[in-house]
A and B are shown apart, each in its own frame.
Chain A
């Protein structure tokens, strides 16, 4: 069966919450029923059919075609299937994702993978600020699953990250891994914004380049050969060619422990050639 394809007629005038359109929620609905589903656009309700042309197909293979930069919460809370965005995605992509796979061919806006618990998100372009973070007031960000950003990530990537793995192949903005609780954030780019791992409790921030400015509250623990890195590369093999290329490098990293200003036991692992 072919994919259930929703093609954007025109970018909406206001932001639209798309959390109603996930493989879970579209099970058993035919083309007409899907076109009639209500969506909130700014302060008024519109139907899916007003926004998209609907081509019937398997809801477990949902495709969104067009510039979806104003469509927020794509794939929110989904547990199964795959969502492909053939264009840009709006804010809060994959909010509280539990399972399944989201693939964005363009960029994603602020708060992608926010409070994600499982599954996989791949963003071919850039991700906005607070990748894998938490809603304001929530104490825990992403707590499981895997995120790959092939482009750059904005500020505060991995804020309050609790568990799971995030790989950013491009640049990381300011304060990456801020307030991190646990989990792993890997930054493969050459440009690392200032003050990474601010207020980090635990967890690992793995970087290939030195940040432009570093916090003084991280203690240098020296250079070490960690078997853990070999295990990490083996488990993540095949997901990012740039990460796979590291297998040829000896796993010798400089370990910086902190953030000592909050009694943190996290680490920045600097894996330089």
Chain B
């Protein structure tokens, strides 16, 4: 399969089952909601060392939020509900509770609940106020600029983490420009996040290492500087590779984002140095979800 001169490899992205939740963060101004969201989703690129994967789903207008203020929707993915619970408590407690004028609401109401305000309420030291409205419990925690308003709990859902595409090109600027275009297109897809910096990963990894205790190491088959040295997956004309990792609430959302990303990268075309689109997998044995690139683009 060739789109606009760019070859789509006959391979698939392998993704895993994760547990995810959505938070709605509001503030007096959209900038402050975004500040809290960026802080909350910082250092959350990979569960390997961050404990969770998180990102900003989209901005919300005042009409879309529970308290009628502008906000931001964020998605947080963990390997289990237990992992996610710890991350929620720590991240909301350190990054949203602390951020001027914010409130934090559940963006998912169904599914196994995790504590949100229920875990943070103790910060109120006995001055916290519980309010039950329309069957939902909220906490008002007194803070130095007024009150931190927070849902008591948030629902979770089974989700998909680790969907990906690899963009192979003739130069580093060419691949970066294609990846930027792909990220812009993918961010318009609902129910997904791209957890890595700017949505893009340059240090794709393989499982294991020559060093004992290191569970992942550089994906040498895709490192252009090792082309002559290892069993490379790169043809002589490939000078750089960038990956885009996708976490989504559903497999359909990940598929839609994969398609949008590949289409945008291919739109730049061979003329702009984009050579091939590939994907990362582990032979299909580890992950439950397989996204075959040619089927996705068919």
A231 adjacent to chain B (CB < 8 Å): yes
Using Cβ atoms and an 8 Å threshold, which residues of chain B touch A164? 132
Q: With A227-B26, A227-B149, A230-B67 as given contacts, are A165 and B133 in contact (CB-CB < 8 Å)?
A: yes
Give 25 pairs: A residue, B residue, CB < 8 Å, sorted on A.
Answer: A163-B132, A165-B133, A204-B129, A224-B146, A225-B146, A226-B140, A226-B146, A226-B147, A227-B67, A227-B69, A227-B146, A228-B131, A228-B138, A228-B140, A228-B147, A230-B67, A230-B68, A230-B69, A231-B66, A231-B103, A232-B131, A234-B66, A234-B68, A235-B134, A247-B68
Chain B contact residues: helix, strand, loop or mixed = strand
Using Cβ atoms and an 8 Å threshold, which residues of chain A touch B126? 265
A202 adjacent to chain B (CB < 8 Å): yes
Using Cβ atoms and an 8 Å threshold, which residues of chain A touch B69? 227, 230
How distant is B36 from chain A, measured CB to nearest CB, in Å?
13
B205 adjacent to chain A (CB < 8 Å): no
Interface contact B129-A202, CB-CB below 8 Å: yes
Using Cβ atoms and an 8 Å threshold, which residues of chain A touch B132? 144, 163-164
Total of A-B residue pairs, C-beta within 8 Å: 51
Known contacts A228-B140, A236-B133, then 12 further A-B pairs from the complex at CB < 8 Å, ordered by chain A residue: A144-B132, A163-B132, A202-B129, A204-B131, A224-B146, A226-B140, A226-B147, A227-B103, A231-B138, A231-B149, A234-B68, A265-B126
Interface residue tally of chain A, by bracket? 20 to 34
How distant is A155 from chain B, measured CB to nearest CB, in Å?
26
Using Cβ atoms and an 8 Å threshold, which residues of chain A touch B67? 227-228, 230-231, 234
Chain A residues 113 to 129 lying within 8 A of chain B, measured CB to CB, are none
A184 adjacent to chain B (CB < 8 Å): yes
Chain A contact residues: helix, strand, loop or mixed = mixed
Interface contact A227-B147, CB-CB below 8 Å: yes
Using Cβ atoms and an 8 Å threshold, which residues of chain A touch B59? none
Interface residue tally of chain B, by bracket? 10 to 19
B294 adjacent to chain A (CB < 8 Å): no
Bound complex: CA A230 to CA B26 (Å): 12
B130 adjacent to chain A (CB < 8 Å): yes
Interface contact A232-B133, CB-CB below 8 Å: yes
A182 adjacent to chain B (CB < 8 Å): yes
Bound complex: CA A202 to CA B69 (Å): 27
Interface contact A184-B131, CB-CB below 8 Å: yes
Q: Which residue of A lies closest to B140 (CB)?
A: A228
Bound complex: CA A225 to CA B146 (Å): 7
Bound complex: CA A224 to CA B147 (Å): 9
Using Cβ atoms and an 8 Å threshold, which residues of chain A touch B129? 202, 204, 265, 267
- Cβ contacts A167-184/B at 8 Å (1 or 0 each): 000000000000000101
Q: Which residue of B lies closest to A265 (CB)?
A: B127
Interface contact A231-B127, CB-CB below 8 Å: no
Using Cβ atoms and an 8 Å threshold, which residues of chain B touch A165? 133
Chain B residues 117 to 136 lying within 8 A of chain A, measured CB to CB, are 126-127, 129-134
How distant is B126 from chain A, measured CB to nearest CB, in Å?
8
Using Cβ atoms and an 8 Å threshold, which residues of chain B touch A235? 133-134
Q: Which residue of A lies closest to B146 (CB)?
A: A224
